[in-house]
Amino acid sequence: MNQRARLIAFYLPQFHPTPENDAWWGKGFTEWTNVAKAKPLFPGHYQPHLPADLGFYDLRLPEARHAQAELAKEYGIGGFCYYHYWFGGRRILERPVNDILSSGEPDFPFCLCWANHSWNTAWQGTDTMLVEQTYPGWDDHAAHFDWLLKAFSDPRYITVDGKPVFVIYKPDDIPDVLRVTDYWRERALRAGLPGLHLIGVSHRDEAWDPRARGMDASTMQALPARNGRIPRRYLWTKLKFLLEGNKHPLSIWDYQEILPILLRSNRVEWPDYPLVLPSWDNTPRSGVRGLVFHDSTPELFRGHLREAISRVADYPSDERIVFLKAWNEWAEGNYVEPDQRWGRGYLEVIRDELKK
């Protein structure tokens, strides 16, 4: 298929039981636990979001991973960017990627995003540290690269100019990040790779320059602050939350209203890959402390995606990348897998816009 861009979808590997989640949240907990029990919090609030074609899948099953890849391939998605968790040598939610690497299946492009942030219970309104993101030193950076090299060497791994793509969620949190990226690039060359293509995520900071952090490119996640902002027609809902003692009540944006600020407003001197959001609603995790993009539709998303694709039209063919957040972040309401409301509507928009 001749496509206008490579759409790479972030992919959450949380849909299978793990010892950590069993200990923290109860036996058998997965992302589906919160998704299925979600309830609407204001008039017209779309909850719960329930899956359609793929069902409540378990990512330990190769059949589930194969079905996802076949569906993504059918609608033109260029690959998955699996979230990768490395906590000073400890990996979490590692089973799906381990199996994908060891089995060679599914035959679908992928890359990794190091989600280098601590895990805590802030999304529930408490502040218990579950796993702290630490950076023990150079031995850990070496061990981390040793593991990454197995993925980078996979023939399915996504590259730019032959260089493996690696996304880092919070580059500024890494002590001495310039030395770390220099070291990893040197290790890549010694391993016979042509280098690395490192992409840093900026968080609503349009002046954030990836080059100062040893990165080649950026992608901007433009989520607004969770500050209790709410459309006037829902003021009674906000009052109700406040009367119930919720100090940080729900933040609601109409999707159509927020679209103009989801992509950066400035032109930059470095490669920047737009990041598109089909929706957002993390109330299954955060309840009344959540953030909601209300009334997202496939047709509204079409304009957002079209604009993002147009921004990379003049890039070299290998760099015409648009990130999609996300393929399957169901408990944060940003996914394009078929659901019981829209079916394959978002996927059909993706296919149409990529083929134009």
* pLDDT level of residue 10 (50, 70, 90 thresholds): very high
**CA separation for the pair 29, 83 (Å, rounded):** 19
**CA separation for the pair 194, 105 (Å, rounded):** 25
Q: What percent of the chain has pLDDT over 90?
A: 87
pTM greater than the 0.85 cutoff: yes
Give the burial string for 118-148 (b: 16+ CB within 10 Å, else e): ebeeebeeeeeeebebebeeeeebeebbeeb
Residue 237 vs residue 136, higher pLDDT: 136
Is residue 218 within 8 A of residue 202, CB to CB? The reply is yes
Q: What is the per-residue pLDDT for 326?
A: 98
SS3 of residue 33 by DSSP: helix
Task: Note whether residue 1 is domain-resident.
Answer: no
Task: Note whether residue 157 is domain-resident.
Answer: yes
SS3 of residue 197 by DSSP: strand
Task: Note whether residue 263 is domain-resident.
Answer: yes
Q: What is the per-residue pLDDT for 227?
A: 83
Measure CA 191 to chain center. Answer: 29
Domain interval for residue 293: 6-355
**Residue 2: pLDDT above 80?**
no
Q: What is the per-residue pLDDT for 126?
A: 63
Task: Note whether residue 304 is domain-resident.
Answer: yes
**CA separation for the pair 85, 140 (Å, rounded):** 14
Q: Identify the bridge partners of residue 8 per DSSP, sorted by sequence position.
A: 79, 323
**Residue 1: pLDDT above 90?**
no
Mean of the per-residue pLDDT values for the chain?
Answer: 95
3-state helix, strand, coil split of the chain in percent (to 5) is 35, 20, 45
Please work out, in degrees rounded to the nearest 5, the angle formed at the alpha carbon of residue 162 by the alpha carbons of 171 and 64. Answer: 75
Task: Note whether residue 12 is domain-resident.
Answer: yes
**Residue 13: pLDDT above 80?**
yes
**Residue 125: pLDDT above 70?**
no
**Residue 146: pLDDT above 90?**
yes
Is residue 141 within 8 A of residue 214, CB to CB? The reply is no
Task: Note whether residue 264 is domain-resident.
Answer: yes
Residue 354 vs residue 124, higher pLDDT: 354
Q: What is the per-residue pLDDT for 69?
A: 98
Give me the CATH number covering residue 245. Answer: 3.20.20.80
**CA separation for the pair 120, 124 (Å, rounded):** 9
Mean pLDDT calculated for residue range 35-55? 96
Task: Note whether residue 135 is domain-resident.
Answer: yes
Q: What is the per-residue pLDDT for 124?
A: 59
Q: pLDDT tens for residues 159-192? A: 999 999 999 999 999 999 999 999 999 999 999 9
What domain count does the chain have? 1
Q: pLDDT tens for residues 69-80? A: 999 999 999 999
Q: How far is CA 31 from CA 252, 329, 332, in A?
A: 23, 9, 10
